[in-house]
Amino acid sequence: MSTSVKVLAMYRSLMKEARTLPAYNFRMYALRRIRDAFKDNKSIGDQGEINKQLELAEESLNLIKRQAQIGQLYSTDKLIIEK
């Protein structure tokens, strides 16, 4: 699989998983942080650095998945802004 396809797939996975976070503030922070990180790293050309960033993104994806599962255990009422 080409690098650009891997990066795009990782971006989609992170965004999809971040949308499952139950807490509004965490969800919005994660979405904003993912967009900013990918935008900042858009100009990287070194293959080694790209692979390093993909590994970091994979760790972040696992963290978001765990956090989403924990958040679902302790659900709260939706904020006014979410309704």
H or E element that contains 8: helix 3-18
Indicate the domain borders of the chain.
Answer: 3-74
23-54 pLDDT, tens digit per residue, is 899 999 999 999 999 999 999 989 999 999 99
Task: Assess whether pLDDT exceeds 90 at residue 78.
Answer: no
Phi and psi at residue 18, in whole multiples of 5°?
A: -65, -30
CA–CA distance, 54 with 66 (Å, rounded to integer) = 18
Tokens, residue 79: 């904020």
Stated pTM of the model? 0.88
Q: What one-character-per-residue DSSP string does 31-58 give?
A: HHHHHHHHHHTTT---HHHHHHHHHHHH
Q: 33 or 1, which is more confident? A: 33
